[in-house]
Structures are given as C-alpha cells and as structure tokens.
Amino acid sequence: MSTIMPQGELLRRAVKWIDEKRAETGESFSALVDKAAMNFNLSPKDADFLTGFFKERESAPKG
C-alpha cells in the first residue's frame, strides 16, 4: 500500500535528494532534476520549479 504525501513534501524530498546526489556524483542539476522528476513522480511544473530553484541558488552570491 502506498502512502499519499502532500505535493510540497515530494518537492522537499526531491531537493534533498538532488543535493545529496550532486555531492556524491557531481552530476549536473538538469540531469538530476530529470531523474528526481521520475523518482518522485513530479509534474512538469514541479520539475520546472526545481530547475529554476537550483539555477537561482547557483547564481546567488555566496557570502
């Protein structure tokens, strides 16, 4: 029996998963977003959100 999760929880898990995989493999965010979308059954809109989220985070000044 599968558990129903709120959509926001799936996005949080996907972000965490992408961060972990990025640290382990060094794979590009775009490739990891595609994999996360499949693994977490995310909609195209959610995948677009993740892409924008990681692009914005990458370009943000660190300080």
Place 1 in a pLDDT band, splitting at 50, 70 and 90: very low
Contact by Cβ (8 Å): 11, 46: yes
Q: For residues 55 and 35, what is the distance between their CA atoms, to the nearest angstrom?
A: 17
Tokens 């640290």 sit on residue? 23
Judge whether 16 lies within some domain: yes
**Number of domains making up the chain:** 1
Over residues 7-32, the pLDDT tens digits come to 689 999 999 999 999 999 999 999 99
Full domain range(s) for residue 24 = 8-59
pTM of the model: 0.82
Place 61 in a pLDDT band, splitting at 50, 70 and 90: confident
Judge whether 2 lies within some domain: no
Burial category of 11 from C-beta neighbours within 10 Å (exposed 0-12, middle 13-18, buried 19 and up): middle
User: How many percent of the chain have pLDDT more than 90?
Assistant: 75
Judge whether 21 lies within some domain: yes
